């Protein structure tokens, strides 16, 4: 019998995942993480009680602050747009929590992610998109290692979100009309700018908004508040204007037309290959996406030295944003992923 530790948030997805594991004859144990002061574990406790499983609470506030929240703030302060959920999955859910689950005597760890796993020759684990195209979450798991995936279980991989909600309600696993979990658990209102401004007040300085020729068009109240591709909130006449680059050290925003956001090439760092790493210089055909809510586009992926790679899209894509994760697929299977590197659009001097 498999002994499976389930990461319980108290929401519908993890609750139904635990329920399905029990229905399949697994021995299930619940685990939940306290990640920041005020973390509410009551919902997870109620789900565990309903399912008659144990619940272990992992106090990780200090480590989460150092590894995720501080990194999130510093990324904006450096002109990047971070993806904290990817890091949390790799370092906390499938890092610290998975280690705790396995150390407790469990054989595997499960979560409520909408993704699927498969086996390839030689024992390699294949990470596949979830069946629900509108909800699938393989993108957020693409930095997991083969070792982490080998001990993972995703019971919701073949389910649709509406079916999961229906099952959660029919089994009374969660309170009626319970809201969805927030994408950024430590920012329930999504206001990243206030968090960054509070912790890095030196960044809240007025600066110039310029075009690519260095022509001054207006002023901003802190370049960190903006991200590549942003259109709203610039307060400029003419246009429409889009953010092309965020230059924190110069306290500049560079703006331009939508056409200037188009690019075919993407340099990646911190590569994670879920297939055998190809020789340096080798190119692979794939489909790739440079953000979660993007339809994948045909591309070539080339392995480079120093754990880097380059994606070349067959047709230009818009608003490739430094700090975000790019994920490459072979049909439904994740091939590799890496972090989008920063390439400045330095304006010409007047």
pLDDT tens-digit series, residues 37-78: 877 789 999 999 999 999 999 999 999 999 999 999 999 999
The reply to whether 193 falls in a domain is: no
The reply to whether 194 falls in a domain is: no
The model's pTM is 0.93
Angle at 161 between CA 273 and CA 13, to 5 degrees: 75
The reply to whether 200 falls in a domain is: no
- Separation between Cα atoms, residue 302 and residue 268, nearest integer Å: 10
Show which residues are catalytic: 88, 185
CATH number for the domain that contains residue 307: 2.40.30.10
The parent domain of residue 214 ranges over 205-256
- Mean pLDDT over 325-341 rounds to 98
* pLDDT value at 335 more than 90: yes
**pLDDT of amino acid 178:** 63
- Mean pLDDT over 21-28 rounds to 96
216 and 305 together in one domain: no
- Mean pLDDT over 133-157 rounds to 97
23 and 160 together in one domain: yes
Last residue of a domain, one of 224, 256, 288: 256
Bridge partner list, 17: none
Give the model's confidence band at 177: pLDDT under 50 very low, under 70 low, under 90 confident, else very high.
low
Do 113 and 136 form a contact (C-beta atoms < 8 A)?
A: no
245 and 133 together in one domain: no
Give the model's confidence band at 187: pLDDT under 50 very low, under 70 low, under 90 confident, else very high.
confident
Q: What is the pLDDT of residues 249-297, one digit of tens each?
A: 999 999 999 999 999 999 999 999 999 999 999 999 999 999 999 999 9
152 and 39 together in one domain: yes
**pLDDT of amino acid 349:** 43
43 and 62 together in one domain: yes
Q: Starting at the edge strand that comes first in sequence, how are the strands of the sheet with 242-247 ordered? A: 216-220, 207-210, 252-256, 242-247
- Mean pLDDT over 129-147 rounds to 97
245 and 303 together in one domain: no
- Separation between Cα atoms, residue 108 and residue 2, nearest integer Å: 7
**pLDDT of amino acid 350:** 42
119 and 227 together in one domain: no
The reply to whether 156 falls in a domain is: yes
CATH number for the domain that contains residue 48: 3.40.50.620
- Mean pLDDT over 171-185 rounds to 74
250 and 269 together in one domain: no
Do 10 and 18 form a contact (C-beta atoms < 8 A)?
A: no
Q: What are phi and psi of 65, to 5 degrees?
A: -60, -45
The reply to whether 185 falls in a domain is: no
**pLDDT of amino acid 48:** 96
Q: What is the pLDDT of residues 193-228, one digit of tens each?
A: 999 999 999 999 999 999 999 999 999 999 999 999
Comparing 101 with 122, the larger pLDDT belongs to 101
| Percentage of the chain exceeding pLDDT 90 | 87
The reply to whether 177 falls in a domain is: no
* pLDDT value at 181 more than 70: no
Number of residues assigned to the chain: 350
Whole-angstrom CA distances from 318 to 34, 52, 115, 334 are 37, 49, 26, 22
Closest of 287, 298, 276 to residue 330, by C-alpha: 287
72 and 210 together in one domain: no
| Number of domains the chain is built from | 3
- Separation between Cα atoms, residue 89 and residue 85, nearest integer Å: 6
**pLDDT of amino acid 162:** 96
**pLDDT of amino acid 239:** 80
* pLDDT value at 244 more than 90: yes
100 and 48 together in one domain: yes
The reply to whether 181 falls in a domain is: no
12 and 153 together in one domain: yes
Last residue of a domain, one of 240, 256, 272: 256
Pairing of strands 283-289, 297-304: antiparallel
215 and 275 together in one domain: no
Q: CB 61: neighbour CB atoms within 10 A?
A: 15
The reply to whether 347 falls in a domain is: no
């Amino acid at each position: 019998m498999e002994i499976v530790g389930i990461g319980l948030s108290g929401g519908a997805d993890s609750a139904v995942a635990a329920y399905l594991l029990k229905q399949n004859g697994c021995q299930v144990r619940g685990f939940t993480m306290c990640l920041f002061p005020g973390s509410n574990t009551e919902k997870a406790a109620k789900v565990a009680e309903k399912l008659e499983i144990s619940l272990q609470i992992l106090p990780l506030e200090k480590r989460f602050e150092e590894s995720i929240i501080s990194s999130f703030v510093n990324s904006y302060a450096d002109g990047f747009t971070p993806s904290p959920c990817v890091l949390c999955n790799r370092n906390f859910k499938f890092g610290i929590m998975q280690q705790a689950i396995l150390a407790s005597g469990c054989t595997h760890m499960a979560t409520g992610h909408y993704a699927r796993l498969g086996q390839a020759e030689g024992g390699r684990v294949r990470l596949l998109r979830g069946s629900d195209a509108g909800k699938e979450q393989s993108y957020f798991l693409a930095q997991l290692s083969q070792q982490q995936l080998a001990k993972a279980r995703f019971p919701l991989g073949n389910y649709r979100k509406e079916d999961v909600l229906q099952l959660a309600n029919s089994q009374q696993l969660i309170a009626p009309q319970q809201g969805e979990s927030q994408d950024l658990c430590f920012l329930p209102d999504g206001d990243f700018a206030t968090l960054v401004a509070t912790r890095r007040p030196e960044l809240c300085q007025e600066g110039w908004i310029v075009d690519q020729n260095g022509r001054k068009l207006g002023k901003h109240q802190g370049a960190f508040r903006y991200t590549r591709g942003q259109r709203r909130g610039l307060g400029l006449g003419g246009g429409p204007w889009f953010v092309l680059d965020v230059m924190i050290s110069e306290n500049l925003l560079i703006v331009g037309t939508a056409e200037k956001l188009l690019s075919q090439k993407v340099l990646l760092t911190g590569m994670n290959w879920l297939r055998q790493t190809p020789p340096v210089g080798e190119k692979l055909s794939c489909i790739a996406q440079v953000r979660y809510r993007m339809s994948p586009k045909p591309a070539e992926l080339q392995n480079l030295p120093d754990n880097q790679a380059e994606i070349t899209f067959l047709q230009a894509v818009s608003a490739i944003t430094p700090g975000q994760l790019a994920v490459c697929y072979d049909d439904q299977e994740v091939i590799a992923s890496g972090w989008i590197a920063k390439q400045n659009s330095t304006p010409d001097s007047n």
